[in-house]
Structure 1
Amino acid sequence: MADNRRDAPFFMTATTQFGLEEVLADELRQLGAKIEKMGSRAVEFTGNKQLLYEATLWCRTAMRILKPFADFYARDERALYREVGKIDWSKYIAENQTFAITAVVNKSSFEHSLFVAQLAKDAIVDQFRDRTGRRPSVDVNRPDIRLHLHMLENEVVLSLDAAGESLHRRGYRQQTNAAPLNEVLAAGLLLLSGWDGKKTLVDPMCGSGTLLTEAALIAQRIAPGLYHQGKFGFENWADFDASLWETIRLDARNARLEEPQADIAGSDISREFIELARQNVEAADLEDYIRLGVRDVKEAKAPKGEPGIVMMNPPYGERIGAEQEMAGLYKTIGDTLKTNFQGYDAYIFTGNLEAAKSVGLRTSRRVPLYNGPIECRLLKYELYQGTRKPKAV
């Protein structure tokens, strides 16, 4: 039998959130991928089966890893049904498996992605029924095989989804506060900051602790996919290699560093949020690596030792009439950073750019991102110790 680690490379697409494409491409490169093309919220790359499994297990900023297997042009409904029907679906779905189709339609004569998904599903089911008299069932929530249909200007690409469900659902989060950062975005913010997993990291408005948890995963070299509940999508594929997957998981478990690598600390004014954070950190088995405390942001102080980074995601104040309250909060944040975090690099991730002006510090970097539908910025502030010394000529 051929060694699957050295099998022929094939095309894949990893999807992510807007603004994290470069970070994801770096992650894939480190796993040995050859980057072919960068798109908006997507990175196209080539690699073999081992890379597909490793990318699903290790990528912190990927939402999905897709393996394209068919493409065609569909002028109208009949053409779409016909082209989908030409594919030999027994290669991808067994009769006793469940499946679901997610469709994304852009700039096409088809208006509704749901309609496109329905039409493709009918073509697949009809093929099975015509050939065998039996058909696989559709399961929208937890299908064995999840298919992706991407249509751009009537050009269709069909892919298998290696993850199954979105990779931001790590599996460690017990419950969350009202507006949590998702795990992919939290990891992306940390990687965008260039944090090395060794320097001190402080989050003085930590909410339910997602930033801190993702930081500990980076510092301790823990693959986020190890928390995944149930099977990944590729474990249900016809060509699944169980022994290769077992080796990759074992390697990942052995890569974990037991000794704490960085001082990671978080606090929040809400005792309830800190309790939530504690539950999430315990569910991730990371209580030895993260310190938590109840504290108002204005009381937050840098731990003793070498300066590191402070990162936070303060409230954006979506309530009507919250402008003054938010301006006051952001001013307090700025004052705390100036006074208590000298020598640190500070990062504020916010969707309230008006309130961010009240921080009263000059930004050295502004990265456009989104938190769900909200346009945000990751703002960097360099907090110099004392006065800024002019550079020697």
Structure 2
Amino acid sequence: MENFKMVAKTLFGFEELLAKELTQLGAQKVEQGVRVVTFMGDKGFMYKANLGLRTALKILKPIKTFKAVNDVALYKGIQSIDWSDYFSAHQSFLIDTTLHSDHFNHSQYVALKSKDAIVDQFRDNQGKRPSVDKDFPDLRIHVHIDRDQVTVSLDTSGESLHRRGYKTATNIAPINEVLAAGMLMLSGWDGTSHFIDPMCGSGTILAEAAMIACNIPANINRKEFAFEKWNDWDSQLFDNILESLLKKTREFHYSITGYDKAPSAVSKAKDNIENANLAEYITIKQANFFETEKETDGPLHMVFNPPYGERLDIDMERFYREIGDTLKQGYSDTNAWFITANLDALKFVGLRPSRKIKLFNGKLEARLVKYEMYAGSKKGKYMNNDED
């Protein structure tokens, strides 16, 4: 099987993590961009990337690049691709667009022009045309325009890869699975200690933590990928790739615990963990973090997403102060990481973070912060080196 170029899309701040994941999976010619990493691999690797990558949102397969400064050139460029190589007039398709161009500023118009070019080609050659299906297309096509450069790609993934397939129940503003996995990886979580998420919501961070600890492929629970509808779909190859990934799973010898004070969150989290087949690794309890203390011996790794903004009808200053007090009084020998989009609130924690990493939670600029609580001190000495 020959190698071809692919593009993995990711969240801002995760490019290096994704490049490292790709290299470890066996990708060739890995190169980082902004919110993307390009790489080379064959069809089997395309399956593997979709199954195994934790920080990728989509894997695109570019099939044509051309220049266009107006709709005529765009139409011609799209028509220069022989679309019958990829799907038939009886099938359906959908076009997604991303624009960074002065020449084109309306994504729906670009999608419409591109659709016309494809439909006209089929009609001219075969007398019939494929239909557009917004929900379950047989082929998803991605048109990316950067200034005058148009890149046409096939979307190998389909629905965004953060939709892992284990979540049926969510709370308000659940954390994106890719964001959760990336936070865990940035925090250095590797499954070699006990783990806690003290505000676990619908259980996303817990599920991703268990999959990392056991080296379970991120998208093992997904119902489908876009490439399963392609002409060259090879189910035997896919099964072989999946089996080889599952052989690399490992034992986990510590505990993973989640707390949430809302009974509804606890039951949703339990459902999601059950769906992900991770219940043997994860314990979820109804508890208010501010009334807890560390229950395990040895180092503890903590990662959480405190509620914010519209999810929070409480006194922000007091809430963040209680986070700091609870860590100081109850959680020695703990590396505590959390993400917040409320940058002002951090000063109320009353501890100095040893790390601050800029990320985005949806459209909101956020910080992933680390507090190191040392062992053997009730006061929890903490680090004083500050970096932004």
Q: Aligning the two structures, in what range does the TM-score lie when normalised by the shorter sequence?
A: over 0.9
* Maintained 8 Å contact 1:204/1:300: no
* 2:191 partner amino acid: G
**Structure 2 residue identity aligned to 1:94:** S
TM-score with structure 2 setting the length: 0.94
The alignment of Structure 1 onto Structure 2 pairs a total of residues equal to: 380
Alignment partner of 1:192 out of 186, 202, 221: 186
Q: Distance in 1 between matches of 2:200 and 2:49?
A: 28
TM-score (norm: length of structure 1): 0.93
Q: Give distance in 2, aligned partners of 1:35 and 1:207.
A: 39
1:244 aligns with 2:237: yes
- Tell me whether 1:270 sits opposite 2:262 in the alignment: yes
1:111 aligns with 2:105: yes
Matched, 1:61 2:51: no
Q: Which residue of 2 aligns with 1:301?
A: 293
Q: 1-side partners of 2:329 and 2:296: how far apart?
A: 15
Q: Could you say if the C-alpha distance between residues 363 and 119 of structure 1 is closer, same or farther in structure 2, counting changes exceeding 3 Å?
A: same
AA partner of residue 188 (structure 2): G
Deviations 1:49-73 (A, max 9, x none): 2211100000011000011010000
Q: Paired residue for 1:339?
A: 329
1:93 is aligned to 2:83: no
Instruction: Measure, in 1, the Cα distance between the counterparts of 2:209 and 2:382.
Output: 32
Task: Please identify runs of 4+ aligned residues in structure 1 that moved more than 6 A.
Answer: none
Q: Which residue of 1 aligns with 2:348?
A: 358
Distance 1:205 1:243 in 2: 42
Taking only aligned residues, the RMSD between alpha carbons, in angstroms, comes to: 1.8
Distance of 2:128 and 2:381 partners within structure 1: 74
Contact 2:44–2:237 under 8 Å retained in 1: yes
Which among 143, 146, 155 is matched to residue 140 of structure 2? 146
Q: Which among 228, 238, 250 is matched to residue 222 of structure 2?
A: 228
Mapping 1:1-393, distance limit 5 Å: 7-229=1-223, 231-257=224-250, 259-318=251-310, 325-385=315-375, 386=377
1:246-301 residue CA offsets vs partner (Å, 9 max, x unmatched): 211222344444x5443100101111111110111111111111011111111232
Q: Is the 8 A contact 2:351 2:382 kept in 1?
A: no
SS in 2 for 1:225: coil
Whether the aligned pair in 1 keeps the contact of 2:373 and 2:381 (CA below 8 Å) is no
Flag structure 1 segments of 5+ consecutive residues without an equivalent.
1-6
Secondary structure at 2:69 match in 1: coil
Relative to structure 2, which stretch is displaced further, 297-306 or 49-58? Answer: 297-306
One-letter amino acid of the structure 1 residue matched with residue 354 of structure 2: S
Rounded Cα–Cα distance in structure 2 between residues aligned with 1:384 and 1:305: 13
Q: Distance in 1 between matches of 2:311 and 2:240?
A: 50
SS in 2 for 1:240: coil
Residue 324 of structure 2 aligns with an amino acid whose one-letter code is G
Q: What is the distance in 1 between the residues matched to 2:311 and 2:185?
A: 31
Gaps of 5+ in 2: 384-388
